[in-house]
Structure 1
Amino acid sequence: MKKILLSMFIILGLVGIFKAFEASNLAAIYSDLTSTTVIEANQSFVLGEGKHAGYKAKIVNKGKVDIEIFTEAEKEERKSVGVLKPNDKADFKILKNTKVIFKNLGNETATIGIKLSGDTGLSMGYKPNKQQNEK
């Protein structure tokens, strides 16, 4: 009987540890993320490709070149939401499963400041501008 109780106690303890780990992972994904992101000439930075929850984004163009911002929801056409000139700021509410594309329109490196709130477990990567125009 003592062995059964001890086994149950160990199992319950492991379940508790797993739940705590799961909660800490969720807290890490659903929090704030701040980044300074560099985008090379003729490149785009793609944020949130694939499945994810919604989030809020505050963007600042910290560079010297214009950046065009596009959104593309799942199974929808890509939409330009505007151009950020140097030192411009913009706030966005991004819906679930929607990617955001930051296209460097200049011939030199672009720099953006990004602050995300909500689902921050997003994919991030770079693609050549030619590929971004073809979709």
Structure 2
Amino acid sequence: MSNTNITKEQEQASIAFVDRLFTHVSGRAHVRLNGDLAGFDAVRKKVYIDSYTEKTVSMPAGAFLSHLAREEIAELDVLEDWDGSNEYKLSTAVLLAAKRAIRRYHGGLVKDEDGQPCFEMVADGVVSRSYNVDQ
């Protein structure tokens, strides 16, 4: 679990971003991709990935932005609202971002572009990797 210290203002901004992302942008475009569906539980304030093949994973919505790189946030920020014809584009972008953020939040092992195992973390909007995976 992440130990990122975020301010109350950052937490509120993150929740507002997630709310906009899952209501106005992806809205009714709940399309499962390879059995996975990204969602936002507004009551519990959690972003989650529901999967047919794996256990459902989640993270606090208030920590969502602090686990994405600036470029990833910018990509989500320019997505157009759901209009009935762009479901797959929106669902893909939101699902990939949610998977990245949740994986980083929980400290999950990933593989880089060369297939090497590593841990990813975000500091000041920049992703860094740690290849010391034996610990």
* TM score, norm. by length of structure 1: 0.25
Greater C-alpha Rg: 1
* TM score, norm. by length of structure 2: 0.25
Higher strand share: 1
